[in-house]
Structure 1
């Protein structure tokens, strides 16, 4: 019977070279039952909305991996704050190269951006404090397009002595990125490329830039789910990769141990302490994570790594599922082969897909009709819907720009479009008449966590337009709009 190894290698497209890929194995050979992994996947589908990609590594072998279509192995995914762990790695490498130290004052690197009279606490703030989210701020310094972020950071009040007060501070991570650029002459992205990304086979990573031309540091990195898994495995191996020490083991130890206490709730994986841009977890684990469910979880005692990309509102629920389903299944010795269950798992992982709308109502007679909207905050001006067999085309005018989206009927259809705050990029779209005279469509921007659901309910000469995002930093549901036949 073909193993997960063969299936995964055949299914993956655009994968990195064999020399940097982790070897594949059946779960049982690495001490995990296929039944437990299958139960994890089933529970994720039933209780989590929704995972996008999943890679489980045990004893250096990928034992299970899958992507919920239209998400896939070859496409990058936004990491949000999981980017912080990569920025931390860049700092560790720069320290190892003698370009800076943990005890360097932050002001040392920004003489032109410093306030005229820096406060005592600001003068005492050091690289060490940036790394462990203990800058002394009570609130996070803002990041705006009209001011240099480093100058805004240094102008922000520092009421607490650095090192005494934990505050999750993405602006502090930006300063780490800016410091690396100051001392190396390269963005964090460029600096890490030959030192980390290329050795790990991380192809074509991208990182957003600040108005100053600095990698944003605390967010903005996009890589593939498999890249996250290899990054986690590098840390599990104390920085060693294929016989070479890419990152000093001492840095790995320092970055992943408790550097700052941040709470006391024994049931929360956000109250277990913080390292250098890594979170401590329950059970003695550590992780990098990002908004809406991007995870790199390292389990040293179990010799395992879990990499997940997703679009979830409850990030703790995902970790609870890992602790409840996968952790108890990790045994010290290989298990007896279970070809039947391993085959079921194999097929399940190959067939993962996000749900698509399905036809269950009658279609409205609207083909070719154009509906216009009164001025609104969404800047939606007009829509027109046409049907052609297996596809439905939506033409939209937003803020004067015409956009065309082709939806597959009961399947995903690839395209490109800009939507909401997202610039033009790859999208998979699916739609159906889910109720009488109601067309429901999903736009899955599969290089991001974002999926938009659009509902068009037609009645007489008007249409009700509703749009909702799966996740958002603000409201997920936009106000309903009413359009009328032109």
Structure 2
């Protein structure tokens, strides 16, 4: 993929007052704590000073952002407000009247009729927990109507409750008042002026973008978005997003509490804006499994991270704050040592890689087995035929009908069996064949383990995708990870 010119200028850590030693300490700590990152970019004073990708992830690949997508939807809302097409006090039922429920408990109907853009943005609609699954079950063809039918546990405007459906509804409201799809609006008003030409979106069966999830961007595009926000919505000589909107969206509009089911994290407790989280330092957009856009205005600092974290946000945020901030602009750093520190860090960044699949090339044997899908969250259905066939560059791994993955030995091979790219590498370990199949534009990969003697295979996700465990679903183009919803 040709990305064209860089979005942000480059500099060195020492030139911008960033401690290269602190970044090395961060990388050491992530290794020691088995925190799996896919990319890291640090921007100081508007210049990229640190950038690295853990192979097979690379600079040109977009990466699924999960709920970091919400912050981009909030910017789209701000554009509609600035254009006079929407206001914070507009009610959902007035903008989307066809989605207003016609029947149900009186108290639920009444509260649903009172909900406004402001309630949606701040997630203070009265749903104490995420309403998404219940809303889709109630109204598979109209998530907005389902959202308005889910019983409320609190009066609107009184408490923050993290709720994915609020952002879906915001996306539909923006589309209704602007007459444009959410991706098209952001492409025209934000991405294209910034030079971002490679945004991808997961969609539901109707073709609509989720809004609360599903945006794929490169690490540099995420960092550039953070820089846009740090500069109050200004990019070069253009005010792309009103400064007042950026300030309001990234301020603490409502207090937050520990989210049920989330690991304890001091950054979660700093308040919520309009689809942005406040942090111990600055503010952030955040997505599941460690997708972050961190903005620290007090240090002229932006940090973009993509990752595959099994723990909560504190597994990454704590090390970032503790390793990076103490040396930020510290005049006590040894100036004579800085250039060598920069060089040592650059060398370390060039060698970043996920752990390799160890084993041998094996002979020319072919193995055909069947999937044991007993483990919960199997990436392949039970009984799926799996065949390992040697070829000149490694193996062809056949995962049922039509899902043929090219696997390298000692290197990654890329293929796109159903339209979306995957990269894979593997090895024989005695009579067992092991391959990692990476859905390279996401945090997810599948380890396929073939036991040739037992005649069985298992296909296990590193992290089961939030939109379901089917591998075929996640490697099929177009990007449509909820096809049962129209």
Indicate the TM-score class for this superposition, using the shorter chain for normalisation. Answer: 0.7 to 0.9
Give the alignment of 1:164-203 within 5 angstroms. Answer: 164-203=158-197
- Contact persistence 2:371–2:458 (CA under 8 A): no
- Contact persistence 1:70–1:353 (CA under 8 A): yes
TM-score (norm 2): 0.86
Counterparts of 1:476 and 1:112 in 2: how far apart (Å)? Answer: 29
2:305 corresponds in structure 1 to 308
Counterparts of 1:392 and 1:211 in 2: how far apart (Å)? Answer: 34
Counterparts of 2:79 and 2:468 in 1: how far apart (Å)? Answer: 39
Structure 1 residue 199 displacement after superposition:
1.5
Give the alignment of 1:152-231 within 5 angstroms. Answer: 152-231=146-225
Cα-Cα RMSD:
2.6
Q: Does 1:120 align with 2:115?
A: no
- Corresponding residue SS for 2:424: strand
2:124 corresponds in structure 1 to 134
Counterparts of 2:413 and 2:367 in 1: how far apart (Å)? Answer: 23
Q: Does 1:327 align with 2:325?
A: yes
2:56 corresponds in structure 1 to 70
1:447 corresponds in structure 2 to 441
Counterparts of 2:373 and 2:10 in 1: how far apart (Å)? Answer: 55
1:465 corresponds in structure 2 to 457
Distance of aligned partners of 1:48 and 1:250 in 2 relative to their CA distance in 1, 3 Å threshold: farther
Deviation digits for residues 191-239 of structure 1, max 9, x if unmatched?
Answer: 1112111122211212233344432110111111100000000111111
- Contact persistence 1:55–1:64 (CA under 8 A): yes
- Contact persistence 2:56–2:353 (CA under 8 A): yes
- Contact persistence 1:143–1:171 (CA under 8 A): no
1:428 corresponds in structure 2 to 423
- Corresponding residue SS for 1:43: helix
1:481 corresponds in structure 2 to none
Structure 1 residue 328 displacement after superposition:
1.3
Distance of aligned partners of 1:311 and 1:373 in 2 relative to their CA distance in 1, 3 Å threshold: closer
Counterparts of 2:367 and 2:445 in 1: how far apart (Å)? Answer: 27
Equivalent of 2:315, from 314, 317, 321?
A: 317
Counterparts of 1:88 and 1:96 in 2: how far apart (Å)? Answer: 12
- Corresponding residue SS for 2:398: strand
Deviation digits for residues 239-286 of structure 1, max 9, x if unmatched?
Answer: 111022111111111111111111279952212211000011113x21
Counterparts of 2:451 and 2:382 in 1: how far apart (Å)? Answer: 19
Out of 289-298 and 325-334, give the one that drifted further.
325-334
Q: Does 1:278 align with 2:276?
A: yes
Counterparts of 1:359 and 1:71 in 2: how far apart (Å)? Answer: 22
- Contact persistence 1:16–1:203 (CA under 8 A): no
Out of 54-63 and 312-321, give the one that drifted further.
312-321
Structure 1 residue 372 displacement after superposition:
4.6
Structure 1 residue 373 displacement after superposition:
6.1
Counterparts of 2:152 and 2:430 in 1: how far apart (Å)? Answer: 59
TM-score (norm 1): 0.86
Give 5+ residue unaligned stretches, structure 2: 375-379, 471-486
- Contact persistence 1:30–1:334 (CA under 8 A): no
Counterparts of 1:373 and 1:124 in 2: how far apart (Å)? Answer: 51
Equivalent of 2:136, from 128, 132, 143?
A: 143
- Corresponding residue SS for 2:90: coil
- Contact persistence 2:371–2:382 (CA under 8 A): no
Q: Does 1:395 align with 2:401?
A: no
Counterparts of 1:373 and 1:30 in 2: how far apart (Å)? Answer: 53
Give 5+ residue unaligned stretches, structure 1: 1-12, 419-423, 479-486
- Contact persistence 2:19–2:324 (CA under 8 A): no
Distance of aligned partners of 1:85 and 1:100 in 2 relative to their CA distance in 1, 3 Å threshold: same
- Corresponding residue SS for 1:232: helix
Counterparts of 1:67 and 1:374 in 2: how far apart (Å)? Answer: 34
Structure 1 residue 120 displacement after superposition:
2.6
Counterparts of 1:307 and 1:373 in 2: how far apart (Å)? Answer: 38
Distance of aligned partners of 1:271 and 1:289 in 2 relative to their CA distance in 1, 3 Å threshold: same
Distance of aligned partners of 1:375 and 1:190 in 2 relative to their CA distance in 1, 3 Å threshold: closer
Distance of aligned partners of 1:359 and 1:224 in 2 relative to their CA distance in 1, 3 Å threshold: same
Equivalent of 1:84, from 63, 66, 70?
A: 70
Distance of aligned partners of 1:280 and 1:154 in 2 relative to their CA distance in 1, 3 Å threshold: same
- Contact persistence 1:181–1:214 (CA under 8 A): no
Structure 1 residue 473 displacement after superposition:
5.1
- Corresponding residue SS for 1:259: coil
- Contact persistence 2:121–2:275 (CA under 8 A): yes
Structure 1 residue 439 displacement after superposition:
1.6
- Corresponding residue SS for 1:250: helix
